[in-house]
Every structure is written in structure tokens, then in C-alpha cells.
Amino acid sequence: MMPLFAVICRDKPGALQTRLDTRDAHLAFLKAFEGLRMAGPLIEEGEMRGSLLVIEAGSLQEARDWAAGDPYKAAGLFAFTDIVEWKKVIG
């Protein structure tokens, strides 16, 4: 099994419409990736304002390269993205 990585993305303030406009392309991108283990939006005040993804990749650089292709990133949605190796312990 390859290492797991948490991809944590925070949206730019006031960018909900960008997220909504790009959501179908983003979901297609995720569904096409066999290394995706779980994914979902971060919610603040009842509104989607970020993403948390757990992916399997051969290295941190591979995880970064994959995340760089996300349509949300191309649309300029994210204020920042943090990618860190993650170890599943429970669940």
C-alpha cells in the first residue's frame, strides 16, 4: 500500500460561486483518480468553504502534482492548499 496524504484546501473568502460553478468538473476529476480514498467539503456557517481529501500516492511530490490538476485550483478557488502525509489509525 502506498502512503496516504491529506489534501487540505481553504477557499478564498466570498468564493462560493466559483466553487459552485466548478463543482461538476472537480467531482469528475476526483472520480477519475483511483488513489482517492475519501473526499468532502469543509463547512463553515453552513457553507462549503474548503476541501478535505485523503489520497494514496507514491510520494509527497506525486500528491502535489495530482492536486495541482484540480479544476478548483485552476479556477482560483483556493486561498491555500496544504498537503501532508497522513496515517490511518482508526476507521
What is the full DSSP assignment across the chain?
Answer: -PPEEEEEEEEPTT-HHHHHHHHHHHHHHHHT-TTEEEEEEEEETTEEEEEEEEEE-SSHHHHHHHHHT-HHHHTT-EEEEEEEEE-----
The grid coordinates listed for 4 are 496516504
pTM score above 0.75: yes
Tens-digit pLDDT profile for residues 2-29: 999 999 999 999 999 999 999 999 999 9
Confidence of residue 88 (pLDDT cuts 50, 70, 90): very high
